[in-house]
Amino acid sequence: MAGYATGDGGIPQRNVEKSGLTRVMTLGGSYGLRNYTVKGLRDQKGKRVLCETLPFSPEEAAAAEEAGIDTMKVRFDPKQPHLAKAVRDAAPKTFMAFSVPLVAAATEDEAVRVAYTAMELGADAIMCQWSPRFVSAAAEAGVPIQGHAGLVPRKSTWTGGLKAVGKTVDEALWVYQEIKTLEDAGAYAVEVEVVPEELLIEISKRTTLLTSSIGGGRGGDIQFLFAEDILGNSPPPYPRHSKQYRKIYELQQAIHNERVGGFKDFIRDVQGGTFPGPEHVIKAADTLIGEFLERID
């Protein structure tokens, strides 16, 4: 029927448009509705700052989508693909990049295969720390790629450890060149981690890539923060660039304390003879036990 999409639940086009969602077919061949496409995200560059997070559970992903987060990342382990798939399914309408392990691919062909595996599970893009050659191979195969520059934790030995990058002119030029190399390789975006805010502001003006800032201040096209930081899943200390909007760790600790208290109360009642009480047991009929003993004796 005209105006209806195949495989997206038969939602009329007019209703899709009112929802602000876009009908898509994933690289894996599945129909769906998304808040953004790659083109839609790139069209936002210079117009508005987007919000991005990485949830660690389906529950966090569902909450982020309900809150209206623009984009998400999810960690993707090729050996346990169901974990990322569960997060994907929990937020089906949000643009989501699967973050693939650096060591998951040792050749361009393996990079394409890993990327395709993630896309078949519903990823809208791939986030990676791969070399430009691997990025180029996957991008040429049609996979949207978000690269990584600045502090790249798994490669931090080259930049002096887990600390800020780009605080000298030589480092700043290196960060810029890394981003331009990813741009030339065909990426659509780049996560830029722990660099000076003013540096990222200038770099963002000079690249077509969407820059996702985590510890790069307000210079990015996207502000990225892990869900565990936003929600305060862990106690201090916190990364300098993070902000905790809730203190879920306190709720979790309170729940843990309640569990411990419940078990202690149970043990106390059993040892004290108050559990089980009369209200917890089944009473035998007056003649049952007598007749039972006659039979067995």
User: What are the residue ranges spanned by the domains of the chain?
Assistant: 35-245, 252-296
Please enumerate in sequence order all residues whose Cβ is within 8 A of that of 224, keeping only pairs 6 or more positions apart, or say none: 52, 53, 54, 73, 191, 212, 213, 214
Architecture of domain 35-245: Alpha-Beta Barrel (3.20)
User: What are the pLDDT digits (tens) for 43-68?
Assistant: 999 999 999 999 999 999 999 999 99
Which of 193, 198, 250, 294 is catalytic? The answer is 193
Task: Let me know if 59 is a catalytic residue.
Answer: no
Q: How far apart are CA 181 and CA 133, in angstroms?
A: 10
Q: How far apart are CA 195 and CA 164, in angstroms?
A: 6
**pLDDT at residue 10, as a whole number:** 55
275's tokens? 């559990």
* pLDDT value at residue 162: 94
**pLDDT for position 6:** 41
Residue spans of the chain under pLDDT 70: 1-18
The answer to whether 22 touches 40, Cβ cutoff 8 Å, is yes
Q: What is the pLDDT of residue 14?
A: 61
How many whole angstroms separate alpha carbon 39 and alpha carbon 28? Answer: 18
Q: Which of 111, 97, 92, 124 is nearest to 28 (CA)?
A: 124
Range list of H helices, 160-243: 169-185, 197-205, 227-231
With CA atoms as reference, report the closest residue to 25 among 43, 4, 8. Answer: 8
DSSP string for 114-172: HHHHHHHTT-SEEE----HHHHHHHHHTT--EEEEEES-GGGGGGTTSSS----SHHHH
Q: Which candidate, 150, 259, 267, 155, places its Cα nearest to that of 212?
A: 150
- What integer pLDDT is reported at residue 11 of this predicted model? 59
pLDDT digits (tens, 9 = 90+) for 69-128: 999 999 999 999 999 999 999 999 999 999 999 999 999 999 999 999 999 999 999 999
For residue 82, CA distances in Å to 79, 123, 129 come to 9, 13, 22
Of 85, 80, 87, 99, the C-alpha closest to 56 is 87
Residue 14 and residue 5: Cα distance in Å, rounded?
A: 11
Amino acid at 265: D
Q: Is 92 helix (H, G, I), strand (E, B) or coil?
A: coil
Give residue for tokens 């987060």: 69
- CA–CA separation, 141 and 243 (whole Å): 38
Other Cβ atoms within 10 Å of 130 Cβ, number: 27
Give the number of residues written for the chain: 297
